[in-house]
Amino acid sequence: MDKRSIFAYILIGLVLITYFHFSQPSAEQIQAQKELAEATRREELRKDSIVKADEAKFLSQIDDNSSLFYNVLKGENKNVTIQNEKIKVDISTYGGRIASVSLKDYEDQNGENVVIFDSKDKINVTEANKELNGSNTINFFFKSNLADRNINTNELFFTPVNATDSSVVMRLDFKKGGRYIDFEYSLLGNSQMVNLNVTAHNMNDIISGNEASITWKQFIRQLEPGYEFEQRFSSATYKPVDDDSDYLSQMADKSEKVEEPLKWLAYKNQFFSSIMIAGESFTDADIKSETIQKGKGLLKRCTSTMKTPFDPTGAEPTKLQFYFGPNKFDVLKESNALVINNDKDPDLQEIIYFGWPIVRWINRFFVMPLFDLLSGFGLNMGLVLILLTLIVKAVVYPFTKKSYISSAKMRALKPYIDEINAKYTKKEDALKKQQETMALYQKFGASPMGGCLPMLIQMPIFIALYNFVPNAIALRQQSFLWAHDLSSFDSLISWDTYIWPIGDHVSIFCLLFCLTQIINTYYTSKMQPSMGGSPEMEQQQKMMRWMMYIMPVMFFFIFNEYSSGLNFYYFVSTLVSVFMFIYLRRVIKEDELLKKMEAYAESNKNNPAKQANMMARFEALQEQQKKLIEERERIRNERKNKK
């Protein structure tokens, strides 16, 4: 394999390894996680002591019928259900909160409706030494003028009013002076959107200020087979009103204070999300995400506190919306039209991370439309990935061909390069050898970097597919060959004990991908002879060639936990690359290429303009090299004089 191709491959590998490295938590981040967990534990204990003190006040008010809270401290904890064809939502009388959400169009691993969160969940919160009933809680805090307490809705009982199949009013009825607060829930048509209007009645002498503080806590469930892979694509995500969306670290515990107003806040796992959307905006948002240990059926615990405008006179309701549904681009895009005050596009689809800007554009305007087109034919998703691979390879074929031709030119010029190497054998002649080699390349119309640039141009497409395939919900629970689910790893070979760094299984598609990479490296290195040169250069090329063999081994340990669909795509892509190389090797003859280059050199020999241009470049290079040597010599002499 020639030096330029090896350099390009290594550069690509380094970019990928760097990308994967920075997606993993560092030692400092792990230590920060531990410190954050300890600080959280202390804060939970402190809050728990405050809660116990408040509970003592509550107990004294339960039997005090003169207390404003007398009629809302006791009640029956039950759920009221609203639903349409796509979604079922249970709303609890305790706290007036959404307690459970299930999606009717999607199945979990047991063949039942996907449950995003459930009031039946019993989650042990070890830091607070207590059990949480339900994996989703929302508390509205209203500062009051009362001396004894403020209003926290998550500890009070609501009464259902005017319940229908698609709407219900949860009323926090104090039954004193006609004072109450209504939480009006309604499904928006046949969508996954839920509207919530919060309206006060005769509360202006009780509630002070013109804002409500909202605390939203949710445990993100593990819904797919692979914990590590789903964890990687789960996060707390938020959208500033006047900026692009952002998210907290997916692999490490993280807390963040967001100064700018937010349009929405979301808790997402790989394929499903809960999004809270502001009618106006959320301000002073504190967002925290903590990873949950493997084996508990959970991925993260997310907690957010923010403020939103609230009118205690009841003249204007506080309007909120929720989206509970799939991370499916077209569904999210269509839901934008249902968002309140959507004069500025809420961009709900930005919850799907498609990569850096250029990579995101490739996914948005090329990969995704192509994938949707192929999926629309009703083919097996494995066949869709094969066709996608072939089309992508056809698109990058001109770059691949150009890269190969550039390498072939360098191989064809090897006899001339050998003459130069034989002419300049001493180390002090290295500059002259380099200058004459560069002049040779210019004379014959070859470029040592010509094979590198076209390969680097293909890099964004490689990364685009890395971001697209794991986010493609169409691959979820789709089988192909031995893989039961293309969105998760295939585990034809598995065992019970976790073994670092391979885990508890071997992904066959990952193994095929890595073996094909090794075969590709071996084959191309045999087909492309060394450029020769000094013994040092030969040794350098040999080391680089070994690095190319090590990279697929590293890929195996990185990609073994990744989705079988992604590994299958890379396997087919690498296999096609081998066949493309064989084809190009047969149709592009080096002896014919050399004749063309010699004819090019001969034609330029009689072209004064081109010759002058070439000589000018050669002289500029000589002058540049001369100045560089003089500068090095000057620095060396200064160091000697100082000594």
Confidence (pLDDT) at 250: 85
Residue 615 lies in a domain: no
- Condensed to tens digits (0 to 9), the pLDDT of residues 38-63 reads 565 555 555 554 444 555 555 555 55
Domain identity same for 112 and 239: yes
Structure confidence at residue 492 (pLDDT): 85
Shared-domain flag, residues 88 and 201: yes
The separation between the first and the last C-alpha atoms of the chain, rounded to the nearest angstrom, is 46
Query: 606 is written with which tokens?
Result: 């009689």
Which tokens hold the place of 41? 């534990």
Q: Are residues 342 and 375 in the same domain?
A: no
- Cβ neighbors of 447 (< 8 A, separation 6 or more) are 406, 441
Q: Which domain holds residue 428?
A: 3-21+360-601
What tokens were used for 84?
């349409």
Together in a domain, 381 and 344: no
Same domain, 348 and 377: no
Q: Residue 591's pLDDT is what?
A: 86
Q: Which of 353, 368, 385 is the last residue of a domain?
A: 353
User: Domain total for the chain?
Assistant: 2
Report yes or no on 607 lying in a domain.
Answer: no
- In what helix (H) or strand (E) does residue 172 lie, and over which residues does it extend? strand 167-173
Residue 237 shares a structural domain with residue 342? yes
Specify the pLDDT at position 135: 82
Nearest-Å Rg of the Cα atoms of the chain is 32
Pick the last residue of a domain from 601, 618, 636.
Answer: 601
- Domain shared by 138 and 113, yes or no: yes
The pair phi, psi for residue 563, each rounded to 5°, is: -65, 145
**626 found inside a domain:** no
pLDDT at 122: 64
**Domain end (from 324, 353, 382):** 353
Helix (H), strand (E) at residue 234: none
In a domain, 614, yes or no: no
Same domain for 104 and 215? yes
Tokens of 522: 């071996």
Establish if 364 belongs to a structural domain: yes
Phi, then psi, of 293 in degrees rounded to 5: -60, 145
Do residue 403 and residue 332 come from a single domain? no
The whole-number pLDDT of residue 1 equals 45
Indicate which CATH number applies to the domain containing 256. Answer: 2.70.98.90
Q: Domain check: are 409 and 276 in the same one?
A: no
Is 312 contained in some domain?
A: yes
- Residue 37 located in a structural domain: no
124 has which bridge partners? Answer: 131
Same domain, 257 and 379: no
Predicted model pTM: 0.81
Give the per-residue pLDDT at 127. 43
Cα 388 to Cα 639: distance, rounded to the nearest angstrom: 60
* Cα(566)–Cα(574) distance, integer angstroms: 12
Do 343 and 440 lie in one domain? The reply is no
Extended beta strands in 491-589, E state:
493-499, 503-506
Distance CA 72, CA 94 (A): 9
- Residues of the chain predicted below pLDDT 50: 1-2, 4-5, 49-52, 125-131
Assigned domain for 59 exists = no
Predicted local distance difference test score (pLDDT) of residue 128: 38
Q: Are 310 and 318 in contact (CB under 8 A)?
A: yes
